Structure 1
Amino acid sequence: MSADGALARVIRSAADRAATAEAESCELCAARVADEHPHLYDTGAAEVRCVCGPCSVLFADGAAGEGRYRLVPRRRLRLPPVDTGVLGVPVGLVFFVPRSDGAVTAQGPSPAGAMRWEVDADAWRRLAAEVPQVASMTPDVEALLVNTVRGLSEHWIVPVDDCFRMTALVRREWRGLSGGGRVWPAVEQFFRDLTERS
């Protein structure tokens, strides 16, 4: 075997190992999962867990998990403008998550991760009474995602894992005090992708 052939084999082997290391696996059975895969929300740890398709079926319609694990739905619904100013959250890029216990949290992405606020439950109930789609949200696993930054008016009901992806994107792209030149185009692309996926 030539030196070039051996080097190519080593490079291919290293690339295969890297791809295997980066491949996500089901956190229940350890099977590999596709790039687009279902998620479970772990109510005890308040975290999203990757699962494979067969394991996700176990949790459909609350069939398993005794309430600890909830299957994250795939619904993405664009709403007309919603007056979220009544909720008292002072940022333009934020997501609101109603909780099973009746509480509502708001989280805004930042360079340090998600900032978190408690939302007045009565204000949330009044908003939900005015906007039936908001009232239909599944607690813990769906969010009202809002972007009014830079003159935009985006209002969506999305799975919570979309919100966590957006938070990671802001953290990764943020530069300096105001975000720099990369973060806001990346956020705008995130919302364009939501439109394509809905």
Structure 2
Amino acid sequence: MTTDGALARLIRSAAGRTATAEAEACELCAAPVADVHPHLYDIEAAEVRCVCHPCSVLFAEDGAGEGRYRLVPRRRLRLPPVDTAVLGVPVGLVFFVPRSDGTVTAQGPSPAGAMRWEVDAAAWQRLTATFPQLASMAPEVEALLVNTVRGLDEHWIVPVDDCFRMVALVRREWRGLSGGDGVWPAVERFFAELTERS
């Protein structure tokens, strides 16, 4: 499944479609998957794939699948405010994903999906020196999720599938040029419902 495919499914799910309307299946073995299920990140295709719990166990180690797939972790960690202004990204709702090759990308939601920027690697290294938790992030599959829109000050380390859910939410709720009345309350609810987990 492409990232756009995963995004489309998240949008349909968020819109209230029932599981019986379109049953989800593991993208490795085709077994049915529960509403809440693990994900793999396909490094080569840069795609998130839905998997069942038995298949996810096969990818618990990073070297599994010849390194092509990484199991998306479940960890969520709330952080104190992180000064992301030093990264030069001009938006207040954004997530930062470190990559295996040492680069870092920033992605922000928009009505058309995620916008993407490359972040200065040296600036990211300076930030991780200030916030050691950022250095613990698993490349490709964990992100620093930030929301400083409308007076909020939310900073989290989350799995990338949480970020894709947030992008889908913004895309679904956005109306007109400014987003309309529903998008920002929906984003605030999204962050209010995040819970820490290890």
Q: TM-score, normalised by structure 2?
A: 0.88
Other-structure match for 2:103: 103
**Residue 69 of structure 1 aligns with which residue?**
69
- Distance in 2 of aligned mates of 1:196 and 1:181: 28
* Structure 2 partner of 1:37: 37
Cα distance in 2 for partners of 1:196, 1:83 equals 21
**Letter of the 2:27 counterpart:** E
1:166 corresponds to which letter in structure 2?
M
* Residue in 2 that maps onto 1:178: 178
Instruction: Give the 5 Å matches for 1:14-93.
Output: 19-93=19-93
Offset at residue 124 of structure 1 (A): 0.2
The number of residues matched between the two structures is 181
Quick one: distance in 2 between partners of 1:132 and 1:149?
25
CA distance in 1, matches of 2:109, 2:138: 22
CA distance in 2, matches of 1:23, 1:192: 28
| Larger Rg over CA atoms | 1
- Aligned identity (percent) is 85
The equivalent of 1:161 in structure 2 is 161
Query: Aligned residue for 1:193?
Result: 193
Q: What does residue 141 of structure 1 align with?
A: 141
Structure 1 Cα separation of the partners of residues 197 and 131 of structure 2: 23
Q: Measure, in 2, the Cα distance between the counterparts of 1:20 and 1:179.
A: 31
Structure 1 residue runs without a partner (length 5+): 1-17
Instruction: Give secondary structure in 2 for the equivalent of 1:89.
Output: coil
Residue 77 of structure 2 contacts residue 197 of structure 2 at CA under 8 Å; is this kept in 1? no
Name the structure 2 match of 1:132: 132
User: Bigger CA drift: 188-197 or 30-39?
Assistant: 188-197
Greater helix share, 1 or 2?
A: 1
Q: SS in structure 2 opposite 1:61?
A: coil
Give 1:54 deviation, angstroms: 0.2
Q: Is the 8 A contact 2:74 2:197 kept in 1?
A: no
Partner of 1:95, secondary structure, is strand
Task: Report the TM-score, using the length of structure 1 for normalisation.
Answer: 0.88
Could you say what secondary structure the match of 2:195 adopts?
helix
The 3 A distance-change label for structure 1 pair 175 and 142 is same
Q: How far, CA to CA, are the matches of 1:19 and 1:75 in structure 2?
A: 25
Q: Secondary structure at the match of 1:35?
A: coil
Report the CA distance shift for 1:152/1:86 in structure 2 as closer, same or farther (over 3 A): same
Within 1, Cα distance between the matches of 2:119 and 2:90? 11
Shift of residue 50, structure 1, vs aligned partner: 0.2
| AA matched with 1:36 | V
Measure how far apart 1:20 and its partner are: 3.7
Q: Unpaired runs of 5+ in structure 2?
A: 1-17
Pair 1:66–1:78, CA change in 2 (3 A): same
- What one-letter code is carried by the residue in structure 2 that aligns with 1:177? L
Deviating beyond 2 angstroms after TM superposition, the runs of 4 or more aligned structure 1 residues are: 18-21, 195-198
Secondary structure of 1:129's aligned partner: helix
Q: 1:23 Cα deviation (Å)?
A: 1.7
Partner SS for 2:155: strand
